[in-house]
C-alpha cells in the first residue's frame, strides 16, 4: 500500500458528462501529480501541485482542470467527456516538489460510453 | 527532448535472472526510477538510483546505470511468478519544471514456471 488513496476506483459515464476524481496524498507529502494511462498514449503527465499551487503542467486538455485544497487532497475535473478520455487516471504524491520519488495510488478507471 | 525507450516484452523461466533495459535521452536527469505495475493495480515504486551512482542493489534487484550511454537496467535475480508484471523506467529531466517523471512505454515480463 503506497498510502495514496484515490476514489472512485471505477467510473462509467456518458459522453458530454463531467466527473471529478479525488486523491488523498500520503501523510506528509506536499506535492500531488496526476497522470493518465491509456493503451495508445502510455503514461502521460497531466499536472502537478505543490502545497496548493500549480507547479507544472503537461499534456492536460483545456476540458480538464485540477486543484489542490488546503488539506492537500486534490481533485481532477474532467468535463465534456469524449470516448477517447477513457483511461486509467493515476494520482501520485511526493514529499518535495523536486528530486523525491513519486508514490502512486491504484488509479481510477474511467469508461466513457 | 525527453524520450525513454524500453523493449516491449521479456519472457523468462522461474528461477532465472531477468534483465530489463531502458534508454533515456536527457543527460541531466537527476534520478532514474523503476516502477512495477501488476494487472489492475497502480504503479509500485521498486527502486531508484541517483545519477552520480553506477549501481544500486536492493535484495533481488540490481540497478545499473551507464550515464555515458544513457542506459539503465534492472536485474531481478531468482525471478518468481509473482514478478510477472509490467515494468516502467522513468527519468526526472532537469530541463522540466517541478518533479514530473517521464515514463518509458513499459516492458511486460512473463515468468514461466
Structure confidence at residue B96 (pLDDT): 56
Which residue from A113, A7, A17 is spatially nearest to A63, judged by alpha carbons?
A: A17
Chain B CA closest to residue A96: B99
pLDDT-based confidence at residue B1 (cuts at 50, 70, 90): very low
Å from B74 to nearest chain A CA? 17
Structure confidence at residue B2 (pLDDT): 57
Å from A81 to nearest chain B CA? 23
Per residue in A81-108, pLDDT (tens digit) is 999 999 999 999 998 766 788 999 999 9
Å from B47 to nearest chain A CA? 9
Check CB contact under 8 Å for B100 and A97: no
Residue B85 has pLDDT above 70, yes or no: yes
Structure confidence at residue B94 (pLDDT): 63
Structure confidence at residue B92 (pLDDT): 81
In A77-101, which positions are buried (b, 16+ CB within 10 angstroms) versus exposed (e)? ebeebeeebbbbbbbbbbeebbebb
pLDDT-based confidence at residue B3 (cuts at 50, 70, 90): confident
Per residue in A50-78, pLDDT (tens digit) is 999 999 899 899 999 999 999 999 999 99
Tell me if chain A has a CB within 8 Å of the CB of B21.
no
Chain A CA closest to residue B86: A42
Instruction: Return mean pLDDT, chain A.
Output: 94
User: B100 to chain A: which residues are within 8 Å by CB?
Assistant: 33, 45, 48, 56, 58
Tell me if chain A has a CB within 8 Å of the CB of B97.
yes
Tell me if chain A has a CB within 8 Å of the CB of B105.
yes
pLDDT-based confidence at residue B99 (cuts at 50, 70, 90): low
Check CB contact under 8 Å for A104 and B102: no
Per residue in B40-51, pLDDT (tens digit) is 888 999 999 988
Interatomic CA distance for residues A92 and B75, integer angstroms = 25
Q: Which residue matches cell numbers 515514463? A: B103
Pairwise pLDDT comparison (B113 vs A98), residue with the higher score: B113
Q: Which residue matches cell numbers 518468481? A: B80
Residue B97 has pLDDT above 60, yes or no: no
Transcribe A13-82 into DSSP letters.
E-TT--EEEEEEPPTT--EEEEEEEETTTEEEEEEEEETTEEEEE-S--TTEEEEE-TTS-EEEEE-S--
Structure confidence at residue B98 (pLDDT): 60
Check CB contact under 8 Å for A107 and B45: no
User: In this prediction, what percent of chain A has a pLDDT beyond 70?
Assistant: 98
Per residue in A1-43, pLDDT (tens digit) is 889 999 999 999 999 999 999 999 999 999 999 999 998 888 9
User: A98 to chain B: which residues are within 8 Å by CB?
Assistant: 92, 98-99
Bridging pattern class, strands B9-13 and B107-112? parallel
Amino acid at each position: 500500500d503506497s498510502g495514496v488513496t484515490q476514489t472512485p476506483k471505477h467510473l462509467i459515464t456518458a459522453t458530454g458528462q463531467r466527473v471529478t476524481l479525488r486523491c488523498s496524498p500520503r501523510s506528509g507529502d506536499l506535492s500531488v501529480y496526476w497522470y493518465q494511462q491509456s493503451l495508445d498514449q502510455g503514461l502521460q503527465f497531466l499536472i502537478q501541485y505543490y502545497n496548493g499551487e500549480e507547479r507544472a503542467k503537461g499534456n492536460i486538455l483545456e476540458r480538464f482542470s485540477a486543484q489542490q485544497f488546503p488539506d492537500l487532497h486534490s481533485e481532477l475535473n474532467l468535463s465534456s467527456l469524449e470516448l477517447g478520455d477513457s483511461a486509467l487516471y493515476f494520482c501520485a504524491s511526493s514529499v518535495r516538489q523536486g528530486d523525491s520519488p513519486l508514490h502512486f495510488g491504484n488509479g481510477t478507471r474511467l469508461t466513457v460510453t | 527532448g525527453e524520450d525513454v525507450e524500453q523493449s516491449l516484452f521479456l519472457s523468462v523461466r522461474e528461477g532465472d535472472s531477468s534483465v530489463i533495459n531502458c534508454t533515456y535521452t536527457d543527460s541531466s536527469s537527476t534520478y532514474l526510477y523503476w516502477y512495477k505495475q501488476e494487472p489492475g493495480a497502480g504503479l509500485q515504486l521498486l527502486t531508484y538510483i541517483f545519477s552520480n551512482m553506477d549501481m544500486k542493489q536492493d535484495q533481488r534487484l540490481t540497478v545499473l546505470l551507464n550515464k555515458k550511454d544513457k542506459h539503465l537496467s534492472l536485474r531481478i535475480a531468482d525471478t518468481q511468478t509473482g514478478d510477472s508484471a509490467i515494468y516502467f523506467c522513468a527519468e526526472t529531466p532537469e530541463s522540466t519544471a517541478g518533479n514530473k517523471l517521464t515514463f518509458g512505454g513499459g516492458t511486460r515480463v512473463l515468468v514461466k514456471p
